[in-house]
Amino acid sequence: MSDAMRIFDRRLVRLRRDRLAAGFEESGFLVREVIERLLERLVDIRRVFRRVLLLGAPAGLVEAALRGRPGLELVVAADETAAILGPDGLRVVVDSEALPFADGMFDLVLSPMLLHWVNDLPGTLVQLHRCLAPDGLVMLALPGGETLVELRQVLTEAELACEGGAGLRVSPFADVRDAGSLLQRAGFALPVVDVDRITVSYGDALRLMRELGRMGEGNALHQRRPGPMRRDTLVQACQLYAERFGDHAGRVPATFDILFMSGWKPHPSQQQPAPRGSASVRLADALRVPGAGS
């Protein structure tokens, strides 16, 4: 991979996943919440999925919900690190940028809170499309949009004020407007993208930054600034955070915009758009535009 495409330090991403696994009981609340919301979307889909891939789902959090679905034959759990997978069931350690699965192997892929760490998201989506059977479904959840917008703003301003320049401290996130296009480019039909905003309250900005580290969501950018943040910069950032976003009790919010993306591998049985020019009713007539018939 060229340096231009190497956004994340993939070795560090795996170390961060190990850290999440080690402290998941205390710091896995956001992942649990995202998985719950992802599964709520799956409940409404009345389809039999015989073979399922769980990509990035911590041990046991999804399997229990899937057991009640009819026709389920195989569940494979895969992640960048073995620590997060647990000891039971069919587990595979994978590189999310080079998935090892056979063409058409799965009917359903669920991936919560992992694929925002791949350097080439369009390429990974193409691989997921390849390993799905026709009429198979992919459902993803990953941070996007305005996630951590407050932290991004204050870190940039603090570094500019204290050091005369700002480095990369927060990861780039996919834009909700582009997510559907990414699914279409990868070959998925009937793409659906929606966003849930989750706001979490912290005692102060420093506690938020520490929590992000325990969650495995700390800075893993390939071109991150070396070494820890300077003390004066950190103090300035915390002060700006409290002044700009703090409430009357002194607590500060952190915004997480979670993109939920789904798409189907094409199949003749799926709903198809009508051929261009085949409409039997004029749009103006349907909208009852005055004077449209004259």
pLDDT band for 294, please (50, 70, 90 cuts).
very low
* Average pLDDT over every residue of 13-29: 91
- What is the predicted pLDDT for the residue at 293? 52
- What is the predicted pLDDT for the residue at 25? 87
pLDDT digits 0-9 by tens, 130-165 = 999 999 999 999 999 899 999 999 999 998 888 877
- What is the predicted pLDDT for the residue at 60? 83
Higher pLDDT pick, 180 / 223: 180
pLDDT digits 0-9 by tens, 220-279 = 887 776 677 889 999 999 999 999 999 998 899 999 999 999 999 998 877 665 566 655
185, containing H or E segment: helix 176-185
- What is the predicted pLDDT for the residue at 267? 80
∠ CA 237-240-242 to the nearest 5 degrees? 110
pLDDT band for 167, please (50, 70, 90 cuts).
low
- What is the predicted pLDDT for the residue at 91? 93
For the stretch 23-57, what's the b/e string if a residue is b when 16 or more beta carbons lie within 10 angstroms of its beta carbon?
Answer: ebeebbebbebbbeebbeebeeeeeebebbbbbbb
Q: Calculate the CA dihedral of residues 98, 100, 105, 107 and round it to 10 degrees.
A: -40
Angle at which helices 149-163 and 205-214 cross, to 10°: 110
Question: With pLDDT > 70 as the criterion, what percentage of the chain qualifies?
Answer: 88
Q: Residue 78: is its pLDDT beyond 90?
A: yes
Q: Residue 168: is its pLDDT beyond 70?
A: no
Kindly report which listed range (143-147, 216-220, 286-290) carries the lowest average pLDDT score.
286-290
* Average pLDDT over every residue of 190-209: 95
Q: Calculate the CA dihedral of residues 125, 126, 127, 131 and round it to 10 degrees.
A: 100
Residue 6 vs residues 112, 127, 219, 229: alpha-carbon distances, Å: 22, 18, 14, 23
* Average pLDDT over every residue of 167-188: 85
Which residues have a Cβ under 8 Å from the Cβ of 241 and sit 6 or more positions away? 150, 151, 154, 204, 205, 252
pLDDT band for 65, please (50, 70, 90 cuts).
confident
- Whole-model pTM: value is 0.86
- What is the predicted pLDDT for the residue at 67? 83
pLDDT band for 196, please (50, 70, 90 cuts).
very high
Structure tokens at 183: 């699914």
Mean per-residue pLDDT over the chain, rounded: 88
- What is the predicted pLDDT for the residue at 143? 95
Q: Residue 120: is its pLDDT beyond 50?
A: yes
* Average pLDDT over every residue of 79-98: 90
Q: Residue 36: is its pLDDT beyond 70?
A: yes
